[in-house]
């Protein structure tokens, strides 16, 4: 995405932080490895094999090794990976060494749940500010944070050095909110509103849409239903299955 490839010239090799230029699919899996690694660290494991970690993360072990190989050789053959070292490396690559400040816009039904969620802080994200357009919500305190009016976004964003914006407003307001976020310099947006956002180049948008997830499940349900009409056996094998994200 917006990334030019120069096959012959690997983006100024030999620089200080190396900038590995990871495949997107790998980036999407690193957080899963990280979670599994934290769980292993908590249970006292010092090293883990690719097989063990792959199991814990629910992926193929070859895939895991290839993913990790992209960020350098941090494993020991015959032994495995040092859990704490690998955690450090992945967190470094993901840019989690610095705590990132998040602004949440739209403190409604969903916004409340997000604001009260402790899973952000534990992963190195700090919800730094809450915004809403509804005057009756402004001033409300949630989890130690006061809801501010969205007009204050510009000022607060700078004060709190916001780096990620989360949109939890109704869909019709989402584009306007995105524009405001972009205007104050936010270049990463997580969008919960069911709509496509148009943003300038250089701004990353990821979306979470529950209805889409359910519809995908519905399709597979539908397919399974039309399949059970004819095939041989419904022998209950115990192989496990998952769907790629």
Contact residues for DNA, defined by CB under 7 A: 5, 23-26, 48-51, 59-63, 65-66, 68-69, 73-81, 244
Q: Which is nearer to a copy of itself, 151 or 213 (CB)?
A: 213
81 touches ligand NAD by CB under 6 A: no
Picked from ligand NAD, DNA, a copy of itself, none, the partner binding residue 175 (CB below 5 to 8 A depending on kind) is: none
149: buried, middle or exposed (CB in 10 Å: 19+, 13-18, 0-12)? middle
Q: Which is nearer to DNA, 89 or 169 (CB)?
A: 89
Structure tokens at 2: 């917006």
Provide the minimum distance between the beta carbon of 232 and a copy of itself in the complex, in angstroms, as a whole number: 12
Provide the minimum distance between the beta carbon of 76 and a copy of itself in the complex, in angstroms, as a whole number: 25
Q: Which is nearer to DNA, 31 or 124 (CB)?
A: 31
Alpha-carbon distance values, 233 to 34, 214, 228, 238, 242 (Å): 39, 27, 9, 14, 21
103-162 positions binding a copy of itself, by CB under 8 A: 109-110, 112-114, 116-117, 119-120, 123-125
Listed in order, strand segments (DSSP E) in 21-112 are 47-48, 75-76, 80-82, 100-105
44 touches ligand NAD by CB under 6 A: no
Provide the minimum distance between the beta carbon of 5 and DNA in the complex, in angstroms, as a whole number: 6
117 touches ligand NAD by CB under 6 A: yes
Contacts of 33 (CB under 8 A, 6+ apart): 53, 57, 64, 67, 68, 86, 90
Provide the minimum distance between the beta carbon of 181 and DNA in the complex, in angstroms, as a whole number: 25
Taken as a whole, the chain contains a residue count of 245
Q: How far apart are CA 175 and CA 157, in angstroms?
A: 18
Long-range contacts, stretch 119-122, CB < 8 angstroms, 24+ apart? none
Applying CB under 6 A, among 2, 3, 109, 239 the residue interacting with ligand NAD is: 109
Give the number of other CB atoms < 10 A from CB of residue 90.
19
Provide the minimum distance between the beta carbon of 53 and ligand NAD in the complex, in angstroms, as a whole number: 21
Residue numbers at the binding site for ligand NAD (CB under 6 A): 105-111, 113-114, 117, 119, 131-134, 137, 150, 168-171, 173, 176-177, 192-194, 210
């Amino acid at each position: 995405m917006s990334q030019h490839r120069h096959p012959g010239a690997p983006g100024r090799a030999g620089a200080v932080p190396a900038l590995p230029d990871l495949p997107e699919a790998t980036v999407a899996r690193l957080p899963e490895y990280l979670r599994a690694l934290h769980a292993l660290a908590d249970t006292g494991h010092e090293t883990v094999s690719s097989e063990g970690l792959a199991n814990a993360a629910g992926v193929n072990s070859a895939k895991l090794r290839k993913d990790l190989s992209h960020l350098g050789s941090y494993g020991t053959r015959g032994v495995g990976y040092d859990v704490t070292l690998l955690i450090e490396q992945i967190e470094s690559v993901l840019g989690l060494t610095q705590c990132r400040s998040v602004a949440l816009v739209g403190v409604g039904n969903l916004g409340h749940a997000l604001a009260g969620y402790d899973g952000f802080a534990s992963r190195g994200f700090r919800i730094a500010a809450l915004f809403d357009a509804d005057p009756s919500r402004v001033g409300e305190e949630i989890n130690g944070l006061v809801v501010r009016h969205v007009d204050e976004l510009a000022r607060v964003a700078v004060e709190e050095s916001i780096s990620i914006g989360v949109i939890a407003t109704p869909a019709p307001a989402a584009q306007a909110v995105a524009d405001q976020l972009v205007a104050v310099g936010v270049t990463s947006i997580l969008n919960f509103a069911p709509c496509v956002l148009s943003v300038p180049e250089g701004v990353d948008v990821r979306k979470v849409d529950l209805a889409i997830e359910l519809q995908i499940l519905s399709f597979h349900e539908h397919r399974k239903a039309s399949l059970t009409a004819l095939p041989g056996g419904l022998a209950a094998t115990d192989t496990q299955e998952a769907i790629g994200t």
